[in-house]
Protein backbone atom coordinates (compact mmCIF):
# COMPACT_ATOMS: atom_id res chain seq x y z
CA UNK A 1 0.00 0.00 0.00
CA UNK A 2 1.59 3.34 -1.03
CA UNK A 3 2.28 5.83 1.74
CA UNK A 4 -0.02 8.83 2.05
CA UNK A 5 2.91 11.01 3.12
CA UNK A 6 5.46 11.15 0.24
CA UNK A 7 9.21 11.02 0.81
CA UNK A 8 9.62 14.56 -0.52
CA UNK A 9 7.39 15.89 2.27
CA UNK A 10 9.69 14.47 4.95
CA UNK A 11 12.65 16.13 3.20
CA UNK A 12 10.74 19.43 3.10
CA UNK A 13 10.05 19.19 6.85
CA UNK A 14 13.74 18.69 7.56
CA UNK A 15 14.57 21.68 5.35
CA UNK A 16 12.08 23.90 7.19
CA UNK A 17 13.46 22.87 10.57
CA UNK A 18 17.05 23.57 9.52
CA UNK A 19 16.02 27.01 8.24
CA UNK A 20 14.89 27.82 11.78
CA UNK A 21 18.04 26.54 13.45
CA UNK A 22 20.85 28.91 14.44
CA UNK A 23 24.00 29.07 12.26
CA UNK A 24 26.71 26.50 13.08
CA UNK A 25 24.25 24.23 14.91
CA UNK A 26 23.28 20.57 14.87
CA UNK A 27 20.03 18.82 15.78
CA UNK A 28 20.08 15.29 17.18
CA UNK A 29 16.83 13.31 17.24
CA UNK A 30 16.81 9.69 18.46
CA UNK A 31 14.19 7.13 17.47
CA UNK A 32 11.95 5.66 20.13
CA UNK A 33 13.54 2.84 22.13
CA UNK A 34 11.94 -0.58 22.28
CA UNK A 35 10.10 -1.21 25.56
CA UNK A 36 9.97 -4.47 27.50
CA UNK A 37 6.43 -5.69 28.20
CA UNK A 38 7.45 -8.58 30.39
CA UNK A 39 10.57 -10.73 30.61
CA UNK A 40 11.77 -11.15 26.99
CA UNK A 41 8.57 -9.90 25.33
CA UNK A 42 8.52 -6.39 23.86
CA UNK A 43 5.62 -4.00 23.43
CA UNK A 44 4.70 -3.50 19.76
CA UNK A 45 7.06 -0.81 18.49
CA UNK A 46 5.71 2.64 17.74
CA UNK A 47 8.08 5.28 16.40
CA UNK A 48 8.73 8.53 18.31
CA UNK A 49 6.44 11.16 16.82
CA UNK A 50 9.16 13.80 16.26
CA UNK A 51 11.43 11.25 14.60
CA UNK A 52 8.52 9.98 12.49
CA UNK A 53 7.63 13.53 11.43
CA UNK A 54 11.14 14.16 10.11
CA UNK A 55 11.95 10.78 8.55
CA UNK A 56 8.99 8.39 8.16
CA UNK A 57 11.55 5.74 9.22
CA UNK A 58 9.87 3.05 11.30
CA UNK A 59 12.73 1.18 12.97
CA UNK A 60 14.15 1.48 16.50
CA UNK A 61 17.87 1.95 17.22
CA UNK A 62 18.20 4.92 14.90
CA UNK A 63 19.35 8.53 15.27
CA UNK A 64 18.82 11.48 12.92
CA UNK A 65 21.34 14.32 12.79
CA UNK A 66 20.50 17.54 10.95
CA UNK A 67 23.60 19.59 10.17
CA UNK A 68 22.92 22.74 8.13
CA UNK A 69 25.74 23.49 5.71
CA UNK A 70 27.49 20.12 5.98
CA UNK A 71 29.33 19.56 2.70
CA UNK A 72 28.59 15.83 2.46
CA UNK A 73 24.90 16.09 3.25
CA UNK A 74 22.81 17.91 5.83
CA UNK A 75 20.50 15.07 6.90
CA UNK A 76 22.31 12.05 8.32
CA UNK A 77 20.76 8.84 9.63
CA UNK A 78 22.36 6.23 11.85
CA UNK A 79 20.46 2.92 11.71
CA UNK A 80 20.87 -0.84 11.99
CA UNK A 81 22.78 -2.61 9.23
CA UNK A 82 21.26 -5.30 7.05
CA UNK A 83 21.78 -8.71 8.70
CA UNK A 84 20.27 -11.78 6.97
CA UNK A 85 20.54 -13.93 10.10
CA UNK A 86 18.84 -11.36 12.32
CA UNK A 87 16.24 -10.59 9.67
CA UNK A 88 15.31 -14.29 9.62
CA UNK A 89 14.10 -13.86 13.20
CA UNK A 90 12.90 -10.27 13.39
CA UNK A 91 12.08 -9.17 9.85
CA UNK A 92 13.47 -6.92 7.12
CA UNK A 93 15.87 -4.09 7.94
CA UNK A 94 16.31 -1.09 5.67
CA UNK A 95 20.03 -0.55 6.34
CA UNK A 96 22.05 2.63 5.70
CA UNK A 97 22.03 2.30 1.89
CA UNK A 98 18.29 1.62 1.88
CA UNK A 99 17.69 4.63 4.12
CA UNK A 100 19.27 6.94 1.53
CA UNK A 101 17.44 5.30 -1.35
CA UNK A 102 13.99 4.87 0.23
CA UNK A 103 13.76 7.82 2.64
CA UNK A 104 15.68 10.54 0.83
CA UNK A 105 18.35 11.03 3.51
CA UNK A 106 21.60 12.66 2.36
CA UNK A 107 23.90 10.29 4.21
CA UNK A 108 23.63 7.22 6.46
CA UNK A 109 25.89 5.13 8.68
CA UNK A 110 25.56 1.98 10.79
CA UNK A 111 24.27 2.74 14.29
CA UNK A 112 27.19 0.71 15.63
CA UNK A 113 29.55 3.45 14.37
CA UNK A 114 27.74 6.39 15.98
CA UNK A 115 30.22 6.78 18.86
CA UNK A 116 33.04 7.18 16.34
CA UNK A 117 31.24 9.45 13.85
CA UNK A 118 28.66 11.66 15.55
CA UNK A 119 31.01 13.36 18.07
CA UNK A 120 33.04 14.58 15.09
CA UNK A 121 29.87 16.06 13.60
CA UNK A 122 29.09 17.82 16.89
CA UNK A 123 32.62 19.21 17.13
CA UNK A 124 32.81 22.78 15.85
CA UNK A 125 29.07 23.37 16.20
CA UNK A 126 28.21 26.15 18.64
CA UNK A 127 24.68 24.94 19.47
CA UNK A 128 23.06 21.51 19.84
CA UNK A 129 19.29 21.15 19.46
CA UNK A 130 18.22 18.09 21.38
CA UNK A 131 15.08 16.81 23.22
CA UNK A 132 16.62 16.77 26.70
CA UNK A 133 14.83 14.62 29.28
CA UNK A 134 12.96 12.44 26.80
CA UNK A 135 15.30 9.44 27.01
CA UNK A 136 17.59 9.43 30.04
CA UNK A 137 19.87 6.76 28.62
CA UNK A 138 20.46 8.65 25.39
CA UNK A 139 20.83 11.93 27.33
CA UNK A 140 23.80 10.36 29.11
CA UNK A 141 25.29 9.21 25.84
CA UNK A 142 25.09 12.68 24.28
CA UNK A 143 26.64 14.25 27.38
CA UNK A 144 29.48 11.72 27.23
CA UNK A 145 30.23 12.75 23.64
CA UNK A 146 30.38 16.39 24.70
CA UNK A 147 32.60 15.55 27.68
CA UNK A 148 35.08 13.85 25.36
CA UNK A 149 35.17 16.96 23.16
CA UNK A 150 35.67 19.21 26.18
CA UNK A 151 38.57 17.09 27.35
CA UNK A 152 40.30 17.82 24.03
CA UNK A 153 39.96 21.63 24.10
CA UNK A 154 43.70 22.08 24.73
CA UNK A 155 44.30 20.02 21.61
CA UNK A 156 42.18 22.41 19.55
CA UNK A 157 38.74 20.78 19.80
CA UNK A 158 35.70 23.06 19.73
CA UNK A 159 32.84 21.59 21.83
CA UNK A 160 29.36 23.13 21.60
CA UNK A 161 28.69 25.97 24.00
CA UNK A 162 24.93 25.63 24.24
CA UNK A 163 22.21 22.99 24.38
CA UNK A 164 18.76 24.12 23.27
CA UNK A 165 15.44 22.28 23.48
CA UNK A 166 14.38 21.10 20.05
CA UNK A 167 10.68 20.99 20.85
CA UNK A 168 9.80 24.66 20.41
CA UNK A 169 11.01 24.85 16.80
CA UNK A 170 9.83 21.41 15.76
CA UNK A 171 6.47 21.39 17.48
CA UNK A 172 5.46 24.70 15.96
CA UNK A 173 6.02 23.10 12.54
CA UNK A 174 3.96 20.05 13.52
CA UNK A 175 1.02 22.25 14.54
CA UNK A 176 0.21 23.13 10.90
CA UNK A 177 -0.95 20.10 8.92
CA UNK A 178 -0.26 19.68 5.22
CA UNK A 179 -2.85 18.38 2.76
CA UNK A 180 -1.23 14.93 2.94
CA UNK A 181 -1.36 14.92 6.74
CA UNK A 182 -5.03 15.90 6.64
CA UNK A 183 -5.62 13.09 4.15
CA UNK A 184 -4.06 10.57 6.56
CA UNK A 185 -6.11 11.93 9.47
CA UNK A 186 -9.28 11.84 7.37
CA UNK A 187 -8.64 8.20 6.52
CA UNK A 188 -8.11 7.38 10.19
CA UNK A 189 -11.33 9.25 10.99
CA UNK A 190 -13.26 7.38 8.32
CA UNK A 191 -12.09 3.98 9.60
CA UNK A 192 -12.81 4.96 13.21
CA UNK A 193 -16.28 6.21 12.28
CA UNK A 194 -17.10 2.86 10.71
CA UNK A 195 -15.81 1.12 13.84
CA UNK A 196 -18.12 3.20 16.05
CA UNK A 197 -21.09 2.36 13.81
CA UNK A 198 -20.26 -1.33 14.07
CA UNK A 199 -20.04 -1.11 17.86
CA UNK A 200 -23.42 0.65 18.06
CA UNK A 201 -25.05 -2.17 16.11
CA UNK A 202 -23.36 -4.81 18.29
CA UNK A 203 -24.54 -3.18 21.54
CA UNK A 204 -28.12 -4.37 20.99
CA UNK A 205 -26.95 -7.94 21.62
CA UNK A 206 -25.90 -7.11 25.18
CA UNK A 207 -22.74 -8.78 26.42
CA UNK A 208 -19.80 -6.91 27.90
CA UNK A 209 -17.90 -3.72 27.27
CA UNK A 210 -15.02 -5.73 25.83
CA UNK A 211 -17.34 -7.14 23.15
CA UNK A 212 -17.71 -3.61 21.78
CA UNK A 213 -13.97 -3.02 22.09
CA UNK A 214 -13.46 -6.15 19.97
CA UNK A 215 -15.72 -4.71 17.25
CA UNK A 216 -13.64 -1.53 17.22
CA UNK A 217 -10.33 -3.36 16.89
CA UNK A 218 -11.75 -5.71 14.26
CA UNK A 219 -12.77 -2.75 12.09
CA UNK A 220 -9.45 -0.96 12.57
CA UNK A 221 -7.49 -4.05 11.54
CA UNK A 222 -9.88 -4.93 8.73
CA UNK A 223 -9.07 -1.60 7.08
CA UNK A 224 -5.32 -1.80 7.60
CA UNK A 225 -5.05 0.41 10.68
CA UNK A 226 -2.76 -1.75 12.77
CA UNK A 227 -2.90 0.28 15.96
CA UNK A 228 -5.28 2.18 18.15
CA UNK A 229 -4.33 5.81 18.74
CA UNK A 230 -4.85 5.29 22.48
CA UNK A 231 -6.45 2.64 24.74
CA UNK A 232 -10.14 2.44 23.84
CA UNK A 233 -12.66 3.66 26.41
CA UNK A 234 -15.88 1.64 26.51
CA UNK A 235 -17.85 2.74 29.57
CA UNK A 236 -21.31 1.36 30.18
CA UNK A 237 -23.66 3.00 32.69
CA UNK A 238 -21.84 4.85 35.48
CA UNK A 239 -18.48 3.89 33.93
CA UNK A 240 -19.22 6.56 31.32
CA UNK A 241 -18.71 9.13 34.09
CA UNK A 242 -15.06 8.01 34.47
CA UNK A 243 -13.13 10.11 31.97
CA UNK A 244 -10.28 7.67 31.28
CA UNK A 245 -12.00 4.37 32.01
CA UNK A 246 -10.19 1.59 30.10
CA UNK A 247 -10.95 -1.62 32.04
CA UNK A 248 -13.81 -2.42 29.64
CA UNK A 249 -14.93 -5.50 31.57
CA UNK A 250 -18.43 -4.63 32.87
CA UNK A 251 -21.68 -6.07 31.48
CA UNK A 252 -23.84 -3.93 29.21
CA UNK A 253 -27.30 -3.39 30.70
CA UNK A 254 -30.57 -2.41 29.08
CA UNK A 255 -31.67 1.05 30.15
CA UNK A 256 -28.09 2.30 30.44
CA UNK A 257 -25.92 4.35 28.10
CA UNK A 258 -22.51 3.31 26.83
CA UNK A 259 -19.78 5.87 26.09
CA UNK A 260 -17.13 4.87 23.54
CA UNK A 261 -14.02 7.00 23.06
CA UNK A 262 -11.83 5.29 20.48
CA UNK A 263 -9.78 5.91 17.35
CA UNK A 264 -7.14 4.29 15.18
CA UNK A 265 -3.84 5.48 13.70
CA UNK A 266 -3.02 5.70 10.00
CA UNK A 267 0.70 6.19 9.31
CA UNK A 268 0.98 7.27 12.96
CA UNK A 269 -1.70 9.98 12.55
CA UNK A 270 -4.45 9.73 15.16
CA UNK A 271 -8.20 9.91 15.07
CA UNK A 272 -10.24 10.52 18.22
CA UNK A 273 -14.01 9.98 18.28
CA UNK A 274 -16.47 9.74 21.15
CA UNK A 275 -20.10 8.71 20.89
CA UNK A 276 -22.64 7.92 23.61
CA UNK A 277 -25.69 5.78 22.92
CA UNK A 278 -28.25 3.57 24.69
CA UNK A 279 -27.57 -0.16 25.00
CA UNK A 280 -31.23 -0.84 24.22
CA UNK A 281 -31.22 1.36 21.13
CA UNK A 282 -33.65 3.88 22.67
CA UNK A 283 -32.80 6.91 24.83
CA UNK A 284 -34.86 7.44 27.96
CA UNK A 285 -36.39 10.94 28.38
CA UNK A 286 -33.71 11.89 30.93
CA UNK A 287 -30.87 10.51 28.82
CA UNK A 288 -32.16 12.35 25.76
CA UNK A 289 -32.54 15.62 27.66
CA UNK A 290 -28.89 15.57 28.78
CA UNK A 291 -27.70 14.29 25.40
CA UNK A 292 -29.39 17.11 23.50
CA UNK A 293 -27.62 19.67 25.68
CA UNK A 294 -24.21 18.13 24.95
CA UNK A 295 -24.94 17.90 21.22
CA UNK A 296 -26.04 21.55 21.09
CA UNK A 297 -22.83 22.49 22.90
CA UNK A 298 -20.75 20.57 20.38
CA UNK A 299 -22.48 22.28 17.44
CA UNK A 300 -21.80 25.67 19.05
CA UNK A 301 -18.15 24.81 19.63
CA UNK A 302 -17.61 23.52 16.08
CA UNK A 303 -19.18 26.70 14.73
CA UNK A 304 -16.57 28.67 16.69
CA UNK A 305 -13.67 26.82 15.02
CA UNK A 306 -12.66 29.31 12.35
CA UNK A 307 -9.64 31.47 11.46
CA UNK A 308 -9.36 34.59 13.60
CA UNK A 309 -11.04 33.04 16.63
CA UNK A 310 -8.66 32.07 19.41
CA UNK A 311 -8.14 28.63 20.91
CA UNK A 312 -10.53 29.20 23.80
CA UNK A 313 -13.49 30.39 21.71
CA UNK A 314 -14.90 26.88 21.08
CA UNK A 315 -14.59 26.03 24.77
CA UNK A 316 -16.35 29.24 25.80
CA UNK A 317 -19.17 28.56 23.31
CA UNK A 318 -19.65 25.00 24.58
CA UNK A 319 -19.46 26.05 28.22
CA UNK A 320 -22.29 28.57 27.88
CA UNK A 321 -24.57 25.98 26.27
CA UNK A 322 -23.71 23.28 28.82
CA UNK A 323 -24.21 25.60 31.77
CA UNK A 324 -27.48 26.94 30.39
CA UNK A 325 -28.65 23.39 29.79
CA UNK A 326 -27.87 22.35 33.36
CA UNK A 327 -29.94 25.31 34.57
CA UNK A 328 -32.83 24.43 32.26
CA UNK A 329 -32.78 20.84 33.54
CA UNK A 330 -32.93 22.06 37.14
CA UNK A 331 -29.52 20.62 37.99
CA UNK A 332 -28.05 24.10 38.52
CA UNK A 333 -29.78 27.32 39.53
CA UNK A 334 -29.20 31.03 38.93
CA UNK A 335 -27.92 32.69 35.77
CA UNK A 336 -25.48 31.33 33.22
CA UNK A 337 -22.96 34.10 33.91
CA UNK A 338 -23.05 33.51 37.66
CA UNK A 339 -22.77 29.74 37.27
CA UNK A 340 -19.75 30.12 35.00
CA UNK A 341 -18.10 32.71 37.26
CA UNK A 342 -18.51 30.48 40.32
CA UNK A 343 -17.57 27.34 38.34
CA UNK A 344 -20.78 25.65 39.51
CA UNK A 345 -20.57 23.54 36.33
CA UNK A 346 -17.29 21.90 37.40
CA UNK A 347 -18.80 18.77 39.04
CA UNK A 348 -20.51 18.00 35.69
CA UNK A 349 -17.98 19.29 33.13
CA UNK A 350 -14.43 19.15 34.41
CA UNK A 351 -12.29 19.07 31.26
CA UNK A 352 -11.51 21.29 28.29
CA UNK A 353 -13.55 21.11 25.08
CA UNK A 354 -10.67 19.89 22.93
CA UNK A 355 -6.98 19.44 22.24
CA UNK A 356 -4.60 19.53 19.28
CA UNK A 357 -4.59 16.36 17.18
CA UNK A 358 -1.98 14.87 14.86
CA UNK A 359 0.86 12.38 15.27
CA UNK A 360 -0.03 12.35 18.97
CA UNK A 361 -3.63 12.09 20.05
CA UNK A 362 -2.91 14.96 22.43
CA UNK A 363 -0.71 16.63 19.88
CA UNK A 364 2.07 19.15 20.34
CA UNK A 365 1.75 22.90 19.98
CA UNK A 366 1.35 25.81 22.37
CA UNK A 367 -2.19 26.81 23.31
CA UNK A 368 -1.04 30.29 24.26
CA UNK A 369 1.45 32.71 22.74
CA UNK A 370 2.73 34.70 25.65
CA UNK A 371 -0.32 35.31 27.84
CA UNK A 372 -2.83 35.31 24.97
CA UNK A 373 -4.77 32.37 23.56
CA UNK A 374 -3.37 31.27 20.21
CA UNK A 375 -5.37 32.31 17.16
CA UNK A 376 -6.76 29.48 15.03
CA UNK A 377 -5.23 29.26 11.54
CA UNK A 378 -5.84 27.04 8.51
CA UNK A 379 -4.17 23.65 8.84
CA UNK A 380 -4.54 23.35 12.60
CA UNK A 381 -6.30 20.15 13.69
CA UNK A 382 -8.16 19.72 16.95
CA UNK A 383 -10.88 17.75 18.69
CA UNK A 384 -14.21 19.19 19.86
CA UNK A 385 -15.52 17.15 22.79
CA UNK A 386 -17.96 18.68 25.29
CA UNK A 387 -19.53 16.40 27.86
CA UNK A 388 -21.71 16.17 30.94
CA UNK A 389 -21.06 13.63 33.71
CA UNK A 390 -23.53 13.25 36.57
CA UNK A 391 -21.89 11.00 39.13
CA UNK A 392 -24.00 8.09 40.42
CA UNK A 393 -23.34 9.16 44.03
CA UNK A 394 -24.13 12.88 43.53
CA UNK A 395 -26.94 13.40 46.03
CA UNK A 396 -27.19 17.09 45.14
CA UNK A 397 -29.18 16.23 42.01
CA UNK A 398 -32.44 14.40 41.44
CA UNK A 399 -31.96 10.62 41.34
CA UNK A 400 -33.25 10.40 37.76
CA UNK A 401 -30.11 12.15 36.47
CA UNK A 402 -27.52 10.16 38.41
CA UNK A 403 -25.11 7.94 36.51
CA UNK A 404 -25.65 9.64 33.14
CA UNK A 405 -22.31 10.30 31.43
CA UNK A 406 -22.28 11.74 27.91
CA UNK A 407 -19.47 12.97 25.67
CA UNK A 408 -19.60 13.70 21.94
CA UNK A 409 -16.29 14.19 20.13
CA UNK A 410 -15.21 14.84 16.55
CA UNK A 411 -11.96 15.70 14.77
CA UNK A 412 -11.88 19.08 13.06
CA UNK A 413 -9.40 20.89 10.78
CA UNK A 414 -9.38 24.67 10.46
CA UNK A 415 -9.90 25.81 6.85
CA UNK A 416 -9.75 29.23 5.18
CA UNK A 417 -13.51 29.68 5.53
CA UNK A 418 -14.22 27.86 8.79
CA UNK A 419 -13.59 24.22 9.54
CA UNK A 420 -13.97 20.69 8.19
CA UNK A 421 -15.19 17.80 10.34
CA UNK A 422 -13.15 14.68 9.53
CA UNK A 423 -15.27 12.22 11.52
CA UNK A 424 -18.84 12.89 10.39
CA UNK A 425 -19.27 9.31 9.17
CA UNK A 426 -20.76 8.20 12.48
CA UNK A 427 -24.21 9.48 13.53
CA UNK A 428 -24.67 11.70 16.56
CA UNK A 429 -28.25 12.97 16.60
CA UNK A 430 -30.68 10.98 18.73
CA UNK A 431 -32.79 10.13 15.68
CA UNK A 432 -29.82 8.95 13.60
CA UNK A 433 -28.36 6.86 16.42
CA UNK A 434 -31.66 5.15 17.14
CA UNK A 435 -32.21 4.52 13.42
CA UNK A 436 -28.76 2.94 13.02
CA UNK A 437 -29.24 0.71 16.06
CA UNK A 438 -32.68 -0.37 14.84
CA UNK A 439 -31.28 -1.40 11.45
What confidence tens digit (pLDDT) does each residue in 17-43 have? 999 999 999 999 999 999 999 999 999
Residue 65 has pLDDT above 70, yes or no: yes
With b meaning 16 or more CB within 10 Å and e meaning fewer, what string describes 14-37? beebbeebeeebbbbbbbbeeeee
Pairing label, strands 410-414, 419-421: antiparallel
Pairing label, strands 273-278, 381-384: unpaired
State the pLDDT at residue 206: 87
pLDDT tier, 1 (very low <50, low <70, confident <90, very high otherwise)? low
Q: Distance between CA 398 and CA 296 in Å, rounded?
A: 23
Whole-angstrom Cα Rg for the chain:
25
Q: Which residues are catalytic?
A: 40, 244, 261, 272, 351, 355, 362, 385, 389, 407, 409
pLDDT tier, 211 (very low <50, low <70, confident <90, very high otherwise)? very high
pLDDT tier, 205 (very low <50, low <70, confident <90, very high otherwise)? confident
Q: Distance between CA 388 and CA 384 in Å, rounded?
A: 14
In order of 83, 154, 177, 199, the CA distances from 192 in angstroms are: 37, 60, 20, 11
Reported as a single tens digit per residue, the pLDDT across 241-275 is 999 999 999 999 999 999 999 999 999 999 999 99
Contact 44, 51 (CB under 8 A): no
State the pLDDT at residue 2: 80
Q: Which of 226, 223, 208, 273 is nearest to 408 (CA)?
A: 273
Per-residue H/E/C for 193-221: HHHHHHHHHHHCCCCEHHHHHHHHHHHHH
Amino acid sequence: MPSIIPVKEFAERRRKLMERMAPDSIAIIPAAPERVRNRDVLHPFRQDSDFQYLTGFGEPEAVLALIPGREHGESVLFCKERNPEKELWDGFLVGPEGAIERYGLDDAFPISDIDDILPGMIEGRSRVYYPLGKDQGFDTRVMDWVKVLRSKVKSGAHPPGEFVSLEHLLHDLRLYKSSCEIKAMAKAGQISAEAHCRAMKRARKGGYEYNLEAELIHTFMDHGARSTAYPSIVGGGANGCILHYIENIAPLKDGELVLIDAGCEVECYASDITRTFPVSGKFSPEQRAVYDVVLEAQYAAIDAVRPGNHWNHPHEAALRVLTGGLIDLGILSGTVDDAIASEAFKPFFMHRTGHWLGLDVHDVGDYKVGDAWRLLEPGMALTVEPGLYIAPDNTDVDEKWRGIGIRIEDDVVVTKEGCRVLTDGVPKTVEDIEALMAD
